[in-house]
Structure 1
């Protein structure tokens, strides 16, 4: 998927555990894992807002776009 989620990067920079972040933003650790592993189909703006507040960052610190690799044919 061309959207890459960098929550792990921000967690490491803030020296914060996944469980702590999940508790701070009010979602389950399992749902946070789905998001941080790039398996989520969507993210609510309220969740993105909570992530940015808890991690003291901008949305662009958490999400980035990478073009999909083209397959030869």
Structure 2
């Protein structure tokens, strides 16, 4: 997939654990783990909004687009 999830990067920058984010956002640990590991197929805008509020960041800090050719070069 060409959409990269940088949730782990933002958590590290904010020195916040996934457990702490779960408590602030009100989303299950399992669902946040799926998102963090890039296994999610979709994200609701309300979820993205809550995560951005909790991490004090922009959606572009969490979501990144890379073309398929760039992804193949990295592997």
TM-score by length of 2: 0.90
TM-superposition CA deviations, 1:26-69 (whole Å, max 9, x none): 11111100001110010000000000000000000000001113
1:14 aligns with 2:14: yes
RMSD: 1.4
**Structure with a larger share of its residues in helix:** 2
Question: For residues 69 and 33 of structure 2, what CA distance do their matches in structure 1 show?
Answer: 25
SS at match of 2:68: coil
Structure 2 gap ranges (5+): none
Output aligned runs, 1:43-62, within 5 Å: 43-62=43-62
Q: How many residues align?
A: 71
Structure possessing the higher radius of gyration over alpha carbons: 1
Structure 1 gap ranges (5+): none
Runs of 4+ in 1 over 3 A off after TM superposition: none
TM-score by length of 1: 0.92
